[in-house]
A and B are shown apart, each in its own frame.
Chain A
Amino acid sequence: MKNKYSIISLIKNSFSYHENWQKAWGDPDPKKEYEIIIIGGGGHGLATAYYLAKKHNIKNIAVIEKGWIGGGNTGRNTTIIRSNYLWDASAGLYDHALKIWEKLSQELNYNVMFSQRGVMNLAHNLQDVRDLKRRTHANRLNGIDAVYLNTEQVKKFCPIINTSPDIRYPVLGGTLQRRAGTARHDAVAWGYARGADEMGVDIIQNCEVKGIKRSGNSVEGVETTKGFIKTKKIGVVAAGHSSVIANMAGLKLPLESKPLQALVSEPVKPIIDTVVMSNAVHAYVSQSDKGELVIGAGTDDYVSYSQKGSHEIVEGTLNAILELYPIFSRMRMLRQWGGIVDICPDASPIISKTPIKGLYFNCGWGTGGFKATPGSGDLFAHTIANDEPHKLNVAFNLNRFVSGDLVDEHGAAAVAH
């Protein structure tokens, strides 16, 4: 049983100089066999294990992670959470996640620092204006809060934006989702890990999957750097490395893995209290609680697993940032990094069974998976436990690439993919 985090536990632990806090999760050796093995200990994988244990009462689960938990894209994204997607299927999926986010800290007894500071998307040309208005209407029909703002309202909401009409990409308007915002990315992984561990899930770090054993058309287990582990059900949540795991099982996926970059500036006093995204010029900016500007850049167009991206991508993003926010012109950037994102042809995820019995994939989140973490885990747990998708992820099956029933969010989801 985990001790509850509270003001009382904080005071109590201060008497022992914070040296006796209970371990949030263990470091077990793998057992010979598990009922379900989750490959990938990022937010999505840990959330899947958490909901399998909590809602489906399956306790004999292992989460296998080749590095450390939350060390992949969970710790590399720009922490933006929103649900203002155009299509019904996406709106259902992402708003399901957003509703869980709203209660997540209380549920996990772990502060994920979810902050509903709003996300504003800018329009820079007439087509952007039409697209954003259309999306606002679509969102409201789906019960998702969205408002359209004109240039003056944009300026009022975020005064540091340059709304002068004579810049290269003038701000003609924007949309605002007030329920959207940010969360502390590491805390999400840690909170789910702690919750899953409490219910008996084994979190096995530094354990790389080397092969998937099949007998006929069903899975038998996984070969890992810590030996063979038997199981009848495998849930793969390996983000950029999904194709690598799929190849081990003799499966091909409609994915391409590409570097996506982000960067943070030196910390400064509070200057921007919301998240501003611009589709056309590809610049996202928000400010972390530490005071750093958190800036999201774009993806490179070539396949790479190197966790590095091209310099000109960063340069292009910063050009756009400087034009929109001349006030940032003398700020220095502190760190830049890349993560490998697995992109589907329709820029929508796959949460699905596969033609191989007992093998499930949760992948293809591309550039926007963080926001979906709780919903993705919940729906993937449902899919694995029941061997059937939940109604919210039926549309996100692998077979859509055969049937042609794509969820085409390319450019429609308020950001360019």
Chain B
Amino acid sequence: MFLIHCPYCGEREQSEFKAGGEAHIVRPKQPTELSDDQWAEYLFMRKNIKGVQFERWVHTHGCRKWFNMVRDTSNDEIKAIYKMGEKPPTKY
């Protein structure tokens, strides 16, 4: 359990949030032209990094807004939080 600083509501308990998996997976622009391999890559393949990972979270039991998080998955330390549409930080 950890505390998460929602960019809209401030610091709340993690139980108010839901994790949405890896961030910055780009939705295919031309879905009809995708091969099966490309679909598999988009839908299923994940980096699943041990270490610093970029991911999406949603404040389910709060403002219900999505945002991005940079988190070290080896010790659950949150490095940075930024809103959807913002550029991911390069330093954290």
| Chain B contacts with A in 6-59, Cβ cutoff 8 A | 14-15, 18-19, 21-22, 36-37, 39-41, 43-50, 53, 55, 57
CA distance A289 to B1 in the complex (A): 32
Among all A-B residue pairs, the 10 with the closest Cβ atoms: A302-B19, A243-B48, A254-B44, A402-B40, A252-B45, A310-B1, A401-B44, A312-B15, A305-B50, A301-B19
CA distance A191 to B37 in the complex (A): 41
Residue pair A303, B36 in contact (C-beta under 8 Å) = no
CA distance A27 to B40 in the complex (A): 42
Interface residues of B (CB under 8 A from A): 1, 14-15, 18-19, 21-22, 36-37, 39-41, 43-50, 53, 55, 57, 71, 73-76
Residue pair B48, A401 in contact (C-beta under 8 Å) = no
Please tell me which one of the listed residues A256, A305, A310, A312 contacts residue B46 in the complex, with CB atoms under 8 A apart: A256
CA distance A332 to B1 in the complex (A): 21
7 contacts between A and B (CB under 8 A): A253-B45, A254-B46, A257-B73, A300-B19, A302-B55, A306-B75, A401-B40
Residue pair B36, A403 in contact (C-beta under 8 Å) = yes
Residue pair A244, B44 in contact (C-beta under 8 Å) = no
The residues of B that contact A254 with a CB separation of less than 8 Å are 40, 44-46
Residue pair A255, B37 in contact (C-beta under 8 Å) = no
CA distance A252 to B45 in the complex (A): 6
Is A308 among interface residues, defined by CB-CB distance under 8 A? yes
Contact flags A389-417 to B (C-beta < 8 A → 1, else 0):
00000000000011110000000000000
Q: Which residue of A lies closest to B35 (CB)?
A: A402
Is A241 among interface residues, defined by CB-CB distance under 8 A? yes
The residues of A that contact B49 with a CB separation of less than 8 Å are 243, 247, 303
Is A115 among interface residues, defined by CB-CB distance under 8 A? no
